[in-house]
Amino acid sequence: MKNQDLNINKEYKYGFTTDIESIRAPKGLNEDTIKFISNIKKEPKWMLEWRLKAFNRLQSLKEPNWQKPKYPKINYQDLYYYSAPKSASEKPKSLDEIDPKILETYKKLGIPLVEQQRLNGIAVDAVFDSVSVATTFKDELTKKGIIFCSISEAIQKHPDLVKKYLGSVIPLSDHYFATLNSAVFTDGSFVYIPPNTRCPMELSTYFRINASETGQFERTLIIADKGSYVSYLEGCTAPMRDENQLHAANVELIALDDAEIKYSTVQNWYPGDKNGVGGIFNFVTKRGACRGKNSKISWTQVETGSAITWKYPSCILQGDNSVGEFYSIAITNNYQKADTGTKMIHLGKNTKSKIISKGISAGNADNTYRGLVDINKKATNSRNYTQCDSLLMGNKCGAHTVPYIKNKNSTSTIEHEATTTKINEEQLYYCNQRGLDQEEAVSLIVNGFCKEVLQQLPMEFAVEAQKLVAISLEGSVG
């Protein structure tokens, strides 16, 4: 009986669906779909043109296939590219106008949108399928001149900023999925921090895929103007479905002189069942430009969900003395696959980058760290430090490390350290002898293994992430 109880807990906790009436674009990827999206969002003409340009460009691009995890061919004509709760077709003016079912959904996910229930002072933008349904704490932020809204709203209200920066880090023609996103992106968050402003609270977007056969193409754009600072968090979940769902997001970060952006992700999309049926294809392009001198961008990711995770949050270190950081935990269990890492492109002088990657594989899963450190000829006196640690649980999983290293000048240094270990039976025995059961023991050891990354997360997220790490690995040792 006790065992059964445990099993129930092991199920994906966020796998429920919300029964809600939605508006969808007709299936298929074509100009009409793009016009439909642009029209329903009341976008200005330049935006539609931008999308169509991307769509045209897409025709000449092929899906990349150099990655380790292979996936079944995606029929792009058989997907919905836009799905929105009907009640949100006119964006609610206040939280009172949001469909109670959606509020309920977020409550179930542990994200209260009602401002009275302050979530430790974190401002949340909630994206449900293709639209942003709520942004909290807007007034408080506006007072400081901070813009935090959905990208759709920003296109209408802040076109100059959007025009200037959208696609400036991930160009229209970058690669297949990024270009696809540029053509059909539906919603996401927009952040602008004015000069010399420290954002007084964590900004957070919560993405939820609800509708079936729907791709989610979110687009996030964050600009930290001179001397500003912002910490941004992103969380994601999706219902359990037997089909694979595509999530192809683009995230662009721009840090100007002396600005700092800290971007944290806890990704918990539905990973598929024990036999590898269903789950999200998480094919995401995330890139930050340290455009100004002394700027800093730090990525922290905890990737526990998705059937396939394929992403490389990267930093382009253009400004002199700029700093890029990448802290990653990627956990794969059952038949999950991850091919993730980062690219650190050093262009400015005295630029520094640091990469800490922790890959954990269990079950039949496969985990690859793939990274590029490229120090340009002009990036003199630059440094990189990379540490890749892999932890294996069981005999059927795999861990791979594929570092690409290019150093084109003689004054820069690159350090790379890598380890692969198996979870140690003796350590488990020791913990058991101190009264911890198998799962507590695994959780403790794995959280210890991930510590350097977990401690990068903002406090509220770190606690959540620690639990998530434990849940993702439940039942993997026995």
Q: Which residues bind another protein (CB under 8 A)?
A: 424-427, 429-438, 440, 444-445, 447-452
Strands 189-193 and 147-150: antiparallel
Minimum CB–partner distance for residue 81 and another protein (Å): 43
Minimum CB–partner distance for residue 445 and another protein (Å): 6
Tell me how crowded residue 111 is: count the other CB atoms within 10 A of its CB.
20
Cα–Cα separations (whole angstroms), residue 182 to 173, 177, 288, 405, 426? 9, 9, 17, 30, 51
CB closer to another protein, 159 vs 394: 394
Task: Give the distance, in angstroms, between the CA of residue 140 and the centroid of all CA atoms in the same chain.
Answer: 26
* DSSP per-residue letters across 12-44: -TT-------EEEPPSS-SHHHHHHHHHHTT--
Angstrom distance (rounded) from CA 160 to CA 166 = 10
Minimum CB–partner distance for residue 472 and another protein (Å): 17
Which residue from 12, 235, 237, 277 is spatially nearest to 119, judged by alpha carbons? 235
Structural tokens at position 92: 């609610």
Amino acid at 12: Y
CB closer to another protein, 98 vs 471: 471
Minimum CB–partner distance for residue 427 and another protein (Å): 5
Minimum CB–partner distance for residue 334 and another protein (Å): 24
Minimum CB–partner distance for residue 435 and another protein (Å): 4
Minimum CB–partner distance for residue 274 and another protein (Å): 24
Angstrom distance (rounded) from CA 471 to CA 206 = 20
Minimum CB–partner distance for residue 454 and another protein (Å): 9
Q: Give φ, ψ of 211 to 5 degrees.
A: -65, 150
Minimum CB–partner distance for residue 432 and another protein (Å): 4
Sequence-distant (6+) residues with CB within 8 A of 148 are 123, 125, 135, 137, 138, 141, 189, 190, 191, 203
Which residue from 81, 131, 87, 128 is spatially nearest to 109, judged by alpha carbons? 128
Sequence-distant (6+) residues with CB within 8 A of 42 are 156
CB closer to another protein, 105 vs 466: 466
CB closer to another protein, 121 vs 448: 448
Sign of CA dihedral 74, 79, 85, 91: positive
- Residue matched to tokens 């789950």: 279
3-class secondary structure, 316: strand
Sheet holding 413-422, edge to edge: 131-135, 122-128, 202-208, 229-237, 260-267, 296-303, 323-332, 352-361, 383-392, 413-422
Minimum CB–partner distance for residue 136 and another protein (Å): 31
Task: Give the distance, in angstroms, between the CA of residue 359 and the centroid of all CA atoms in the same chain.
Answer: 16
Minimum CB–partner distance for residue 437 and another protein (Å): 5
CB closer to another protein, 318 vs 456: 456
Strands (E), 129-211: 131-135, 147-150, 189-193, 202-208
